[in-house]
């Protein structure tokens, strides 16, 4: 089955700790995205990547970092610099070409809670 | 700066009713618009994608329209069912960018 997997489903972080959220896709998509969702709010873009070894900051990148070493993987690190990291994190991917953009496919999400 | 608004924030309807969800955007220079469904605690599921050159898209009981000049899209759900209960989000991608801007969603409850 093709799709996007995120792990873990639930994650607890202590103050001052860095944590990494995993996102893997086997859809052969070039573009991948990380979003944050807070209760009652829409999705806000953290980072996105159009190709391997390249990524751009979204609207709320402060306190987060990413890497894109492989086409199928786009891990997100929530650093201790992120002051309010408790949220639901969603990873997405999409196929893009010069002529066509497919829909965004989303993973099941990771719920991060700071203790 | 593109802003996406969805009204109402919440809606309850009896089963079988036809309903319309609204999505407004401030910048008409869009590349495409998507409608998604989100169940509680889950990821988003794509419902319909409308390219900027299209006026509407249909999938089963769902029909989405796009009017770029007025900055509006509507999602029409025919013969609603309790299983349609979820939050519906629209997202806009502007021309010349790979970023998507999301609305805050409409939480729909269909009563049996």
The structure tokens listed for A109 are 């999400």
Residue of B nearest to A51 (CA): B98
At A1, the pLDDT band (50, 70, 90 cuts) reads low
Cβ separation of A108 and B42 shorter than 8 Å? yes
For residue A67, what pLDDT band results from cuts at 50, 70 and 90?
very high
A104 touches chain B (CB under 8 A): yes
Supply A88's token pair: 């639901």
pLDDT in tens, A11-64: 998 888 999 999 999 999 999 999 999 987 789 999 999 999 999 999 999 999
Does A17 touch chain B if contact means CB atoms closer than 8 Å? no
Distinct helix (H) and strand (E) counts, chain A: 0, 11
Round to whole Å and give the CA distance between A12 and B47.
Answer: 32
- How far is the C-alpha of A33 from the C-alpha of B97, rounded, in Å? 13
Q: Which two tokens stand for residue A106?
A: 């989303």
Smallest CA–CA distance from B37 into chain A, residue? A106
Distance CA A3, CA A98 (A): 23
pLDDT of B97 over the 90 cut: no
Q: Render pLDDT for B31-89 as a digit per residue (tens, 0 to 9).
A: 999 999 999 999 999 999 999 999 999 999 999 999 999 999 999 999 999 999 999 99
Q: Do B99 and A45 touch (CB under 8 A)?
A: yes
Q: What is the separation, in whole angstroms, between the first and last Cα of chain A?
A: 35
| Closest in B46, B49, B98 to A50, CB measured | B98
Contact yes or no for B98 and A109 at CB 8 A: no
Which DSSP state fits A9? S
The C-alpha atoms of residue B9 and residue B106 are separated, in whole angstroms, by: 5
What's the pLDDT score for residue A99?
65
């Amino acid at each position: 089955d093709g799709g996007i997997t995120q792990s873990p489903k639930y994650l607890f972080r202590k103050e001052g700790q860095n944590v990494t959220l995993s996102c893997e896709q086997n859809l052969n998509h070039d573009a991948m995205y990380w979003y944050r969702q807070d209760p009652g709010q829409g999705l806000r873009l953290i980072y996105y990547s159009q190709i391997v070894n390249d990524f751009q900051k979204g609207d709320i990148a402060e306190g987060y970092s990413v890497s894109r070493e492989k086409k199928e993987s786009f891990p997100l690190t929530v650093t201790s610099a992120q002051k309010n990291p408790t949220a639901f994190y969603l990873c997405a991917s999409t196929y893009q070409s010069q002529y066509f953009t497919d829909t965004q496919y989303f993973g099941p999400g990771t719920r991060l809670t700071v203790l | 700066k593109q802003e996406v608004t969805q009204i109402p924030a919440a809606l309850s309807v009896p089963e079988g009713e036809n309903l319309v969800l609204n999505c407004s955007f401030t910048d008409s220079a869009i590349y495409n618009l998507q409608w998604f469904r989100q169940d509680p605690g889950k990821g988003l599921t794509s419902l319909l994608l409308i390219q900027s050159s299209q006026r509407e898209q249909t999938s089963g009981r769902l029909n989405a329209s796009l009017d770029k000049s007025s900055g509006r899209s509507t999602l029409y759900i025919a013969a609603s069912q309790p299983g349609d209960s979820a939050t519906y989000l629209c997202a806009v991608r502007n021309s010349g960018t790979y970023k998507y801007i999301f609305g805050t969603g409409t939480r729909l409850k269909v009563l049996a």
